[in-house]
């Protein structure tokens, strides 16, 4: 069992707040135990980040890159042990957590490219001298992480922020404190100056205490409800930059496809990968009438073959458990609500044999006759299938959501794609690829209730620094010639 610690001003210390623990959702074993940060410790962490900011921000870019490259080298040596810890804590299959762990080091190179391309320095000659564009860091960034990618997603905020010259106070999800601690251990191994990175642990109260401090930015990945709360909270503090990466009620349209089995693979991967715990997972499937029967059969056949098991099971699982039995019970009550509104289970949302309660089966709900369905994200492997009389109506149904994170079209017709890509409102829009396709060298973010137009991944550079435009001349020469209305 791992002992939980906080990192404040370069020192690992115990939290002085309430007991906090983390269990393996596949076994219910206790794997990490510690204490939350008290409000005073949160204040100390922000004060440390504030004190470290001027020196860190004024280092040349190369010096910050040198420290990040030490992190990159260190994290590369720990890929396997990070992957195992991620699997133990989040329940995700090892094939998935190995990808997440390996991606941590890659983030450094991608972030350097993005920093130089999107927020570097540019200079152009003018009649008086030059116009220069520079970017400056904001200051102290609070980073709040989710549980579904507990290292990859915070890393996607923290690395670009540090590169830009910001300092960081990170609070991981209370569901995955161990993964958060490991991420900070790896950064700390690179010997950042004390206070540049800080770690506090705890649930929402600790997050709230962090946001009550004097911070310059909140870099957040999590639920739409929390994101909306933060918009309200900071409405009177517009100087605090908010980068909000939130959830979605993502549509997938299947229309005019020859290979139904191939289409079913896209549907299953879009809806059920990571046990439905990806923000980009498809939640709604909209198909033409003639495809409803063959496609639901093909989805059912493929779903029956998915291995649902603990992360280290042999053969390897497609899906592990949800993050906790509590989350599984919450999803179960959301499904019960959909059923009272007329949804009919084609594949029921069930527990899985003798496995612990966090393990669930992938569900497919026929909503053709359902009424008044809530436009909400259910963060679990639950897909609602509907039909439309024509393609235009299918796209209208796809767009009938307050969210706008990801969307997909499975179709053999290029004309449908042309119409889809120009009509659908989402930040990730894929054609004949699962909705969960994402890449470090592309932006990742959503519209509407899914974010605040500050996408992450490659575009994280944009929200980690602000642009400064300067018009410069080496000598103070008269500008009289540029002034109008002056008597001779």
- Catalytically active residues are 245, 279
Closest CA to 272 of 257, 283, 286: 283
At what angle are helices 177-188 and 61-77 packed, to 10 degrees?
120
DSSP 34: E
Number of residues engaging ligand SIN in binding (CB under 6 A): 8
In this complex, which beta carbon is closest to ligand NAD, that of residue 247 or of residue 408? 247
**Out of 147, 192, 292, 403, the residue judged to bind ligand NAD by CB under 6 A:** 147
The mark string for 261-280 relative to ligand SIN (x by CB under 6 A, - otherwise) is -----------------xxx
Binds 319, which of ligand SIN, ligand NAD, none (CB < 5 to 8 A, cut-off by type)?
none
Half-sphere exposure of 414 (CA within 13 A, CB side): 0
Beta bridge partners of 2: 32
In this complex, which beta carbon is closest to ligand NAD, that of residue 103 or of residue 222? 222
* Closest residue to ligand NAD using C-beta atoms: 207
Binds 260, which of ligand SIN, ligand NAD, none (CB < 5 to 8 A, cut-off by type)?
none
Q: Is 56 in the site for ligand SIN (CB under 6 A)?
A: no
User: Nearest approach, Cβ of 109 to ligand SIN (angstroms)?
Assistant: 17
User: Nearest approach, Cβ of 333 to ligand NAD (angstroms)?
Assistant: 16
Binds 33, which of ligand NAD, ligand SIN, none (CB < 5 to 8 A, cut-off by type)?
none
Q: Is 160 in the site for ligand NAD (CB under 6 A)?
A: no
Q: Is 379 in the site for ligand NAD (CB under 6 A)?
A: yes
Q: Is 384 in the site for ligand SIN (CB under 6 A)?
A: no
| Buried/exposed 314-333: b ≥16 CB within 10 Å, e otherwise | eeebbbbbbbbbebbeebbe
Spatial separation of the C-alpha atoms in residues 340 and 414, rounded to whole Å: 39
Binds 438, which of ligand SIN, ligand NAD, none (CB < 5 to 8 A, cut-off by type)?
ligand SIN
Q: Is 104 in the site for ligand SIN (CB under 6 A)?
A: no
Burial of 476 (0-12, 13-18, 19+ CB in 10 A): exposed
Burial of 237 (0-12, 13-18, 19+ CB in 10 A): exposed
Q: Is 288 in the site for ligand NAD (CB under 6 A)?
A: no
Q: Does an H or E element contain 387, and which?
A: strand 382-388
Binds 379, which of ligand NAD, ligand SIN, none (CB < 5 to 8 A, cut-off by type)?
ligand NAD
Q: How far is CA 136 from the centre of its chain?
A: 24
- Measure the N-to-C terminal CA separation of the chain; round to a whole number of Å: 84
φ/ψ (deg, to 5) at 193: -55, 145
Residues interacting with ligand NAD, by CB under 6 A?
144-148, 153, 171, 173-174, 203-204, 207-208, 221-223, 226, 229, 245-247, 279, 377, 379, 405, 444, 456
Residues interacting with ligand SIN, by CB under 6 A?
148-149, 278-280, 436, 438, 444
């Amino acid at each position: 069992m791992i002992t939980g610690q906080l990192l404040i001003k370069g020192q690992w210390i115990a939290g002085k707040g309430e007991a906090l623990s983390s269990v393996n959702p596949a076994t219910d074993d206790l794997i990490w135990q510690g204490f939350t940060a008290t409000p005073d410790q949160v204040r100390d962490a922000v004060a440390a980040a504030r004190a470290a900011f001027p020196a860190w921000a004024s280092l040349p870019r190369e010096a910050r890159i040198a420290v990040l490259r030490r992190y990159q080298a260190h994290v590369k040596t720990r890929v396997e042990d990070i992957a195992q810890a991620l699997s133990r804590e989040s329940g995700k299959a090892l094939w998935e957590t190995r990808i997440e762990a390996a991606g941590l080091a890659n983030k450094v190179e991608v972030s350097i490219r993005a920093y130089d391309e999107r927020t570097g320095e540019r200079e152009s000659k003018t009649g008086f001298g030059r116009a220069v564009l520079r970017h400056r860091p904001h200051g102290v960034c609070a980073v709040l992480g989710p549980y579904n990618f507990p290292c990859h997603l915070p890393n996607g905020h923290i690395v670009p922020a540090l590169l830009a010259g910001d300092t960081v106070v990170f609070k991981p999800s209370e569901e995955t404190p161990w993964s958060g601690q490991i991420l900070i251990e790896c950064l700390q191994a690179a010997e950042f100056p004390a206070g540049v990175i800080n770690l506090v642990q705890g649930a929402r109260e600790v997050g709230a205490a962090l946001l009550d401090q004097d911070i310059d930015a909140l870099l957040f990945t999590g639920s739409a409800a929390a994101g909306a709360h933060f918009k309200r909270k900071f409405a009177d503090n517009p100087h605090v930059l908010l980068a909000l990466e939130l959830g979605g009620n993502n549509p997938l349209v299947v229309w005019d496809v020859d290979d139904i089995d191939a289409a079913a693979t896209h549907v299953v991967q879009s809806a059920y990968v990571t046990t439905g715990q990806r923000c980009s997972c498809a939640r709604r499937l909209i198909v033409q009438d003639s495809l409803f029967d063959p496609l639901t059969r093909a989805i059912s056949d493929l779903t029956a073959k998915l291995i649902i098991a603990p992360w280290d099971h042999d053969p390897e699982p497609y899906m592990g458990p949800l993050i906790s039995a509590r989350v599984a019970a919450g999803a179960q009550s959301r499904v019960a609500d959909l059923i009272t509104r007329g949804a009919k289970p084609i594949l029921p949302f069930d527990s899985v044999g003798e496995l612990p309660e966090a393990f669930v089966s992938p569900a497919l709900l026929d909503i053709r006759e359902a009424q008044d369905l809530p436009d909400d994200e259910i963060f679990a492997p639950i897909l609602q299938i509907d039909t439309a009389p024509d393609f235009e109506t299918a796209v209208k149904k796809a767009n009938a959501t307050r969210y706008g994170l990801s969307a997909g079209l499975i179709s053999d017709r290029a004309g449908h794609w042309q119409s889809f890509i120009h009509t659908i409102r989402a930040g990730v829009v894929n054609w004949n690829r699962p909705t969960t396709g994402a890449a470090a060298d592309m932006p990742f973010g959503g519209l509407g209730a899914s974010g605040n137009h500050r996408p992450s991944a490659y575009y994280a550079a944009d929200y980690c620094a602000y642009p400064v435009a300067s018009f410069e001349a080496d000598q103070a020469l008269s500008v009289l010639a540029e002034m109008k209305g002056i008597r001779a």
